[in-house]
Amino acid sequence: MKKFIIIFLLLFGLGIFFWQGIYLSKGSTLTEEKTFLVEKGQSLFQIAENLEKEGLIKNQFLFNFYVFLKGQQNKLQAGEYSLSPSMDIAEVAKKIISGDIAKEKITIIEGWNLKDIGFYFENKGMFQAEELYDEMPELEGYLFPDTYWIRRGASLEEIVEKMKTNFQEKTKGLEITPEIVIMASLIEKEVKTKEDKELVSGILWKRLEDKMPLQVDATITYITGKRTTKISKEETQIDSPYNTYKYLGLPIGPICNPGLESIMAALYPKDSEFWYYLSSPEGKTYFSKTLEEHNIKKAKYLKPMPKVVEIIAFKDFRDEEYFVPKEILETAGAEVKTASNQMGTAIGADGGELEVDLLVSEINPADFDAIVFIGGPGCLENLDNENSYKVAKDTVSQNKILASICISPTILAKAGVLKGKKATVWTSPMDKSAARILEDNGAIYQDKDVVVDGKIITGNGPGAAEEFGQAIVKALTKD
């Protein structure tokens, strides 16, 4: 009897040991996930050893025991897995046996072209943008915009195949031709609502039949790469097979990846008496029957392209403070020039490069709607001088928009244009000297990201670049 009790207690103890080892995690409070790689050809024992080394399980022997007990030792699948010490051995084993690999969500927006998608991947640290738009140009138009779950570490070819397959599934049963995809891409970039897309489709197909130039603005911005809704007369003369102002017919290929609504509009256009259309900055589409009527609406609803000059240090301007507002301004339809203290290729503090259009000494604020000073490590050394002071004073005297970000508001202060004005500037907990310069020159310092006082806009650094750009757009629109 005593022997039986001893055996029972031993078995009971072993049972508790195995149960706790398998079903209790290493640390319930350690919730941070790690990426764990199971390489092709690795054995159960190698995987268990690596799991223990990574601190994901308490005991490799118990992992081996559990997998053998389940009879799954030959079913462990290679791949990257998201695992955590808070998971017990049973959960870890289940993931690797079932092949529940780590996945990542990507979202492709309707109207993105290959460059947009490429840089989206690049910004996520997945691939270089050029791997898509330089090496796979034939994919333009056929990567269906959608949300995808992809395995972490998937190749570009694997992701592209997934998007192409989705395109085929979404358009199954439809009479899809290259011409339909090209037309759908034009429609996608030109208008937004279903009703507008159907009407514009009807207009464009009608123009094709009548041998009229399509004159689709979006084909010009596809050529130039500018993020703007407005194009110049000079740009309409660019020699490119995508230029629908210069050449009759459809462009040589799609200009973006259209969504299903635009594809359906291309397939099923709506007949109307209209031959012309335009979209206002607010996104409303106006249709016209005659060119005369169209021109009247252009004059009424389309403002001239605002002109902006961004003033930067030739060396060590702050990249984010330049490029973020520039993109926002161009998207809103502004033409943006760059000025500096010398001509040539300016270099940003983070390595960005751009060509200077004109010298600060050549700026006449009468030629622009807004003057924007950009900060950066080289700002004061390059721009804190009489040329900049004169530009600031002339801008204010001509009642134009004057904007400045980071350390550059100190230049405006020294020019005397911030006297009595609320303004912000870059500071740090250890360095308030820039704020003192503003106050010493009569400005009312505000500890805010962006401050707008009349037509003077100031921002306190790269973290405020987006809000700063939007404030300039708002001021331009208000004007």
Q: Is 265 exposed, middle or buried (0-12, 13-18, 19+ CB in 10 A)?
A: buried
What's the Cα-to-Cα distance from 161 to each of 133, 154, 155, rounded to whole Å? Answer: 15, 11, 10
**pLDDT value at residue 35:** 77
Tell me the pLDDT band of 137, cut-offs 50, 70 and 90. Answer: very high
> Is residue 28 predicted with pLDDT exceeding 60?
no
Nearest to 216 by CA among 249, 260, 257: 249
pLDDT for 250: 97
For residue 145, what pLDDT is reported? Answer: 95
Which alpha helices (DSSP H) does 79-113 contain, by range?
89-98
Instruction: Specify the higher pLDDT residue, 296 or 79.
Output: 296
Domain 2-98 in CATH 2.30.40.10? The answer is no
Q: What does the mean pLDDT of the chain come to?
A: 87
| CATH number of the structural domain 307-478 | 3.40.50.880
Q: In this predicted model, which residue has the larger pLDDT, 188 or 231?
A: 188
Q: Which residue has the higher pLDDT, 450 or 330?
A: 450
pLDDT band at 154 (very low <50, low <70, confident <90, very high): confident
Looking at residue 9, its pLDDT comes to 53
Tokens of 470: 């939007």
Q: What residues form DSSP beta bridges with 287?
A: 277
Q: Look at residue 85 and tell me whether its pLDDT is greater than 90.
A: no
Question: What pLDDT does residue 356 have?
Answer: 92
pLDDT mean over 140-150: 93
Residue by residue, DSSP assigns 226-279 as ---S---TTGGG---TT-TTTSSSS-SS-SS---HHHHHHHHSPPP-S--EEEE
137-141, 294-298, 369-373, 392-396: which has the minimum mean pLDDT?
294-298
The mean per-residue pLDDT over the stretch 269-281 comes to: 92
32 Cβ neighbours under 8 A, 6+ residues apart: 84
| Predicted local distance difference test score (pLDDT) of residue 22 | 57
Place 89 in a pLDDT band, splitting at 50, 70 and 90.
Answer: confident
* Exposure class string for 118-137: b at 16+ Cβ within 10 A, else e: bbbbeeeebeebeebbeeee
Query: How large is the average pLDDT for residues 49-75?
Result: 79
- Residue range 110-119: average pLDDT? 94
- Rounded to whole angstroms, the Cα distance separating 381 from 412 reads 15
- The confidence score (pLDDT) of residue 310 equals 95
Residue 178 corresponds to which tokens in the numbers above? 């290259």
The end-to-end CA distance of the chain, in Å, is 99
The band of 14, judged by pLDDT with boundaries at 50, 70 and 90, is: low
pLDDT digits (tens, 9 = 90+) for 410-468: 999 999 999 999 999 988 888 889 899 999 999 999 999 999 999 999 998 888 889 99
Out of 228-237, 267-276, 302-311, 377-386, give the one with best mean pLDDT. Answer: 267-276
pLDDT value at residue 8:
54
Mean pLDDT computed over 103-129: 90
Residues 170, 25: Cα–Cα separation, whole Å: 44
Return the pLDDT at 67.
Answer: 77
Q: What band does 352 get if pLDDT is binned at 50, 70 and 90?
A: confident
pTM for the model:
0.62
Q: Is the pLDDT of residue 205 over 60?
A: yes
303-314 burial, b if ≥16 CB within 10 A, otherwise e? eeebebbbbbbb
Closest CA to 141 of 164, 122, 172: 164
Query: Across residues 13-37, what is the average pLDDT?
Result: 61
The tens digit of pLDDT for each residue in 162-176 reads 999 999 999 999 999
Please determine, for residue 12, whether its predicted confidence score (pLDDT) is greater than 60.
no
- For 56-81, what is the mean pLDDT? 79
Break the chain into its structural domains and give their ranges. Answer: 2-98, 103-170, 184-301, 307-478
